[in-house]
Amino acid sequence: MATRKIAPALAAGCPVVIKPAPQTPLTTLLAVQLALAAGVPENLVQVVTTTEAPAFSSAVLADPRARKVSFTGSTAVGKVLLHLAADNVLKSSMELGGNAPLLIFDDADLERAVDGAFAAKMRNGGQSCIAANRIFVQDGIADAFTDALTDRLAAVKVGNGLAPGVGLGPVIDHNAVTRLSRLVEDATRRGAHLLTGGSAPSHPGTFFEPTLTTYRLTPTSPTPRSSGPSPQSSASPTRTRPSPAPTTPSTAWRATSSPRTSTAPSTWPTNWPPAWSASTRASPRTRPHLSAASSSPASDARAAAKDSRNTRRSATTTSNCAPPHDPWWGRHPCCRCTA
């Protein structure tokens, strides 16, 4: 995390002041030590370890020498930082939230879907901002998928990560254990079914069992609360198959498309469906010309010819795009897609 923020600043010729999370300062300190060993000038990167984040942020962002703030964390804290940055009109890069959805459709390969969901949920013990917290499964495969994923999670051994056979270590602190217990209680109270896990093991430490709940969404049902970075996840059967930009979103899409909670949407079909193979959003190069006051027959003809060329280019490159072309992120890295 620290290297992703430090490297662009150094490449632009800027010094860096970085405050790591109070629970995990050592990795940032080590990264800076490695940078010094690689030849980065001393004091170009400063690390401030503190539990007084509000005081640190207020002081640094009020300094006229500051040019940009970059933050990865909760939406609530991001709002505070954006407010502080506004006083000096600082450039800002925010990666906020962490309730990423995983969409699994009827045509998915069951074994691959379970493997993918397990990896997406459990890497780093589930404590990753891009972990798949909410899993939406189409009805035709929902029962088989949840049964298989439940078996995989129930077989994970919890304990010291250095011990043989252990597949899941501790969560970050005791506050995380308490929060997860409350979230499971809240989910079951709202109608979710607990399939596996749901509690802390009896042995000492900040451990929590791999947990899976199911929750069927209806138009009037409350949205399941976020588990955040943790080994807890929810699977929701749905009858609908979302399209990239629906006019009237389905319940499942409404629950997964919020920009404040979805940092990494994922899909898992076997054959990439046509609805997902090309973005329906208009490219600035192909948007219709709306300025009628400044138009002329000659300019209209030039604009029409340009739009025609862009349309042919888009049709050609998009049709040749190898799956999975993901309209969430736009341009496919392996082709010349104009979407």
Residue 182 CB-density burial (10 A; 0-12 exposed, 13-18 middle, 19+ buried)? exposed
- In this structure, the number of other CB atoms found within 10 A of the CB of residue 96 comes to 20
Tokens coding 235:
């699977």
User: What is the spatial distance between Cα 134 and Cα 196, in angstroms, rounded to a whole number?
Assistant: 16
Q: Between the CA atoms of 326, 214, 131 and 104, what dihedral angle is there, to the nearest 10 degrees?
A: -20
Do the beta carbons of residue 212 and residue 234 sit within 8 Å?
A: yes
Catalytic residue, chosen from 129, 209, 321, 337, is 129
Catalytic choice (42, 95, 111, 321): 95
Of residues 177, 117, 104, the one with CA closest to residue 152: 117
Return the closest-CA partner of residue 234 out of 242, 243, 244, 224: 224
Distance CA 76, CA 98 (A): 12
CB 102 within 8 A of CB 235: no
Does the annotation count 321 as an active-site position? no
Active site residue 52: no
C-alpha 327/C-alpha 217 separation (Å) is 25
End-to-end CA, the chain: 29
How far, in Å, CA of 123 to CA of 168, rounded? 9
Q: Enumerate the active-site residues.
A: 95, 129
